[in-house]
Copies of this chain bind each other. A is one copy, B any other.
Amino acid sequence: MAKNDPIELNQHTITRDPLPASKKIYVEGEIHKDIRVPMREIQLTNKEKVTVYDTSGPYTDPTAEVNVRKGLEQTRRAWVIGRGDVEEYEGREVKPIDNGYTDDEKAFATHNPDLQRKPLRAKKGHNVTQLHYARKGIITPEMEYIAIRENQRRQEWLEAETSEEREKRLKGNSFGAATPDLITPEFVRDEVAKGRAIIPANINHTELEPMIIGRNFLVKINANIGNSAVTSSIEEEVEKLVWGIRWGGDTVMDLSTGKNIHATRDYILRNSPVPIGTVPIYQALEKVNGVAEDLTWEVFRDTLIEQAEQGVDYFTIHAGVLLRYVPLTANRVTGIVSRGGSIMAKWCIAHHKENFLYTHFEEICEIMKTYDVSFSLGDGLRPGSLADANDEAQFGELETLGELTKIAWKHDVQVMIEGPGHVPMHMIKENMDKQLEVCDEAPFYTLGPLTTDIAPGYDHITSGIGAAMIGWYGCAMLCYVTPKEHLGLPNRDDVKTGIITYKLAAHAADVAKGHPGARYRDDELSKARFEFRWEDQFNLGLDPDTAREFHDETLPKDSAKVAHFCSMCGPKFCSMRISQDVRDYAAEKEKIEKGMQEKSEEFKKQGGEIYVELTD
C-alpha cells in the first residue's frame, strides 16, 4: 500500500502570536507533580496582572515548538500509561474508504505516517473511563489538572477580597448549581462520579489539556469545524482549530464530510489540545455512498473503532431517534433538521426497524469504555423552528436519552446530552428543567437555542441570547452558532464572531449563576475603563484586536490611549472625569458631617441643644 508523504503544509498559516500583553504561565500540580496547567496572564499598565482561563494550547506559547506535520507533544501519555490498565495494540488498518475512496493512491495521498500512533486500549477486563476511576475514589492527573485550571489562580485575590465584595460577587441565582469558592481535585472527582460532569479525554488523545463539562464548573463552549462537500484543505482545518481555540473554544467538533475525512482527523487530533468531538454517523454514511438505508451496525461499529483509535474524545450518537417518534415529526413546520437525526429516521422508516444505535447501545458502551470516549447523546429530533419547540417528538427523544444515560452509567461511561435548537425565550427553562430531571443531572450541551427565526445573518445573536439564558439555568456547554448559520459555511471571521459571542454568553451565565471566579474579570475591565486605561480595557476583553481597532477608527493617535477622554464625549466634557469631583465632595461631606456630629455630641454633653442631628 503506497502511503505517500503528507501534502505540503504551510507552517505560516498557523497562528502563533500570543494575545496582546499576554504571557503563558504554567501552574504545577501538588498531588501529581508532573502536571503543568497553562493559563494566560494579562499584564496591565498599572503593574497588576490578571489570570484568565486559556484554551489556546501551545500555539500561543512562543517557547513551544509546533510542527503540525508531527503533532503536539504527548504530555498526557505518561498519565495514561502510568495507570497500568492500558495496552498498545496493532489497531485497525486504515482503509481507502476511510478517506472516501476505493482507490489506494487517492486515499493515501493525504495520509501522514508521522501522525500515526499505535493505539491504546483498556486491557481485558479493565475500564479506563474517568467516571470509572472517580467512582473508585481515584483522583486522576486529569482531575487535579482541571481543579487547578478552573480556579484560574483565584486563591490569590480571594484572600484580598473584603466580605462586602465577596457578597456582591457571589450574589447570583444558580438554579441549584453549587460551585465552591475553590475547586479541589476531590470536588472534581465527586462531580464526575455523580455523572454531573464529564472529562472528555480519550486515552488515545494524549496531546490533550484536560477540561471538564458540568454545571458546577465554568460554562464551556464548543466550536464546529469541518470541511464540507464544497471546499477546504486539511491545512485550513488545522488552522481553523488553532483559530477556534485561540478565541476560546473549549472543545471542537470536527463535522467533516466528503473526502480525506480520516486524514483530516489525524491532523486535527494530533494537533489539538482541546477535546475533539465527532458525529461518527457522518463518516459511516460516506462509507455507504450517502445512502442512509445502506447503513449497517457493522459499518457504524467499524467507524467507531476507527475514530476511537485516532483519539476522538466524544461521539455524538443519535440513539434516541426511535421509530415511534419519527411520525411525530410529520406535521412539524420544519420536520427533522438534525443531520444525524434525519439519517437515522430515514434508516428506521426504510427498514421499518428500530434504530440500530438504540438496539446496539450496550455494544457501543463497550467500545466507549475501552478508550474512554464520552457520549454526547444527540438530539436528532430537536426543533428547527420556534413553531416546533418543546413538542412531543423532542421531549419523547429526551426521555429516551434519559434511559440511555442510565445504561451508559451502568458501564461507567461518561455522558452528556445534546439539546436544542430553536426555542423562544419563555420555553427555554422547561428544556433545562426537564433535561436535569429525566437525565439525572448529566451535563446538558445545547445548540443556542435560537430565540427567533427572523434574523438570518445574525443567528449568532438570536442564539447567543438563548445560550446565555440556558447557561444561566444550568446548561454546561454551549455549541456556538456563527453568522452564517442557515446560509453557508463560516469563514475565519465568522468562526471568531461565533466564538466570541458564545464566550460572552457563557461568561454572562457564569456571572448570573454567581460563579465565584466569574465577576472578577468584569470588575477588572470596568476599573480599567473608569481609569481610562485604554490598553488594559482592550487587553482584558475577549477580543483585544477588535476593541483596539474600533477605538482607533475614531481616535487613532497613541496619545489617545492614555487620554482621559474618549471620542464619545470629546475632550471638553467627560462624565467619567466628573466622578472624581463627586468623590471629593462625598469625602468632604462625610468630614463635615462627622465634624458636626462631634460638635453635636460635645454640646449634648455640655447640656446644649444647638445642633440637631443630621439625617439627610
Contact = CB atoms under 8 A, between A and B. Distances in A.
A507 B465 CA distance: 12
B341 A542 contact: no
Interface in A447-481: 451-458, 460-462, 464-465, 468-469, 472
Interface residues of A, number: 119
A586 B330 contact: yes
Q: Which one of A489, A522, A589 has the greatest number of beta carbons of chain B within 10 Å?
A: A522
A489 B568 CA distance: 6
A98 B276 CA distance: 63
A184 interface: no
A550 B457 contact: yes
A426 B472 contact: yes
A504 B488 CA distance: 20
B581 A468 contact: no
A326 B582 contact: yes
Contact of A472 (B425, B456, B570): B425
Contacts of A550: 456-457, 483-484, 487-488
Q: Which one of A332, A469, A573 has the greatest number of beta carbons of chain B within 10 Å?
A: A573
A505 interface: yes
Contact of A540 (B332, B454, B457, B587): B454
A465 B554 contact: no
Nearest to A340: B575
Contacts of A523: 333, 385-387, 453
B228 A567 contact: yes
A562 interface: no
A18 interface: no
Contacts of A153: none
A489 B168 CA distance: 33
Interface stretch (A86-94, A209-217, A412-420, A526-534): A526-534
Tell me the interface secondary structure of chain A in the complex. Answer: helix
Contacts of A364: none
Contacts of A570: 228-230, 257-258
Interface stretch (A56-64, A237-245, A370-378, A508-516): A508-516
A427 B508 CA distance: 12
B349 A585 contact: yes
Contact of A525 (B453, B458, B566): B453
Report how many copies the assembly holds: 2
A27 interface: no
Contacts of A522: 385-387, 452-454
Interface string A157-188: 00000000000100111000000000000000
Nearest to A554: B488
Nearest to A323: B616
Contact of A324 (B172, B457, B554, B616): B616
Nearest to A349: B585
A168 B526 contact: no
A329 interface: yes
A607 interface: no
Interface string A568-608: 11111101101101110111011000000000000000000
B335 A504 contact: no
A519 B423 CA distance: 12
Contacts of A549: 457
B526 A334 contact: yes
Nearest to A538: B456
Given A327-B589, A521-B454, A550-B487, A461 B569 contact: no
A69 B150 CA distance: 61
Q: Which one of A329, A336, A508, A541 has the greatest number of beta carbons of chain B within 10 Å?
A: A508
B542 A579 contact: no
A545 to B, nearest CB: 9
B582 A511 contact: no
A333 B579 contact: no
A387 B285 contact: no
A487 B258 CA distance: 43
A77 interface: no
A359 interface: no
A290 interface: yes
Contacts of A558: none
Interface in A406-439: 422, 424-427
B525 A487 contact: no
A522 B507 CA distance: 28
A432 to B, nearest CB: 14
Given A230-B567, A543-B457, A336 B579 contact: yes
A279 interface: no
B468 A425 contact: yes
Contact of A469 (B455, B469, B491, B567): B469
B464 A529 contact: no
5 contacts: A327-B590, A330-B587, A456-B543, A458-B546, A486-B529
Q: What 3 A-B pairs have minimum CB-CB distances, sorted nearest first?
A: A229-B570, A335-B579, A385-B526
Given A172-B426, A290-B572, A488-B568, 14 more contacts: A173-B426, A229-B571, A257-B570, A336-B578, A386-B522, A451-B508, A456-B543, A457-B541, A457-B543, A458-B546, A461-B461, A486-B566, A487-B551, A489-B567
Interface of A: 168, 171-173, 228-230, 257-258, 285, 290, 292, 324, 326-327, 329-330, 332-339, 341-343, 345-346, 349, 384-387, 422, 424-427, 451-458, 460-462, 464-465, 468-469, 472, 483-484, 486-489, 491, 500-501, 503-505, 507-509, 511-514, 519, 521-523, 525-527, 529-530, 537-538, 540-543, 546-547, 549-551, 553-555, 566-573, 575-576, 578-579, 581-583, 585-587, 589-590, 616
